[in-house]
Amino acid sequence: MRIAVGSDHGGYQLKLLVADHLAAAGHVVDDLGTDAADVPVDYPDYGAAVGRAVTSGSAEVGVCVCGTGIGIAIAANKIPGVRAAVVHDVTTARLARQHNHANVVCLGGRLLGSQVALDAVDAFLAATFDGGRHQRRIDEITALEQATAGLSAAAASSHPTKERR
């Protein structure tokens, strides 16, 4: 499986561990950065990069890591088609895939122990979407995303930007 990984400085060490683990398991890992723990960077850049890799088809799934997993998940979820889930253990990772059809898993580099994180990633990858009653909810999320995209495009084209003072 081809997997895109990305992190900010707060998730860098855990991202390296996860990437090595995935490669050792035979996956193709595309590391989209960052490249150091000691240089502060902005997590939205890396969440968006992983999200774009997944939605473009250049990766099947993504793994994002920041200090808590929250910020990078928010950023990844701004990419249409991304369903990024912050997970804390094997159960949340498995359910993110089974019930929410998540395609990006997000981890907190400052919150999770190494083994818990690796086990969660393995559970995420091993799980499959259950479909059934869950499909209706995924369809609702997709409809919300499409409606919001339409509203945003219409608003951008029909309303000039107003400067506030």
Residue 82 and residue 77: Cα distance in Å, rounded?
5
In this structure, what are the phi and psi dihedrals at residue 29, rounded to the nearest 5 degrees? Answer: -115, 125
- 4-20: b or e for each residue (b if 16 or more CB lie within 10 Å)? bbbbbbbbbebbebbbe
Q: Choose the catalytic residue: 21, 27, 88, 99.
A: 99
Q: Choose the catalytic residue: 9, 64, 66, 106.
A: 66
The answer to whether residue 66 is catalytic is yes
DSSP 8-state symbol, 58: S
C-alpha separations of 113 from 32, 57, 77, 109, 162 in Å: 22, 30, 24, 8, 47
Query: What is the four-CA torsion angle of 17, 29, 6, 125, rounded to 10 degrees?
Result: -80
The answer to whether residue 64 is catalytic is no
Name the residues annotated as catalytic.
66, 99
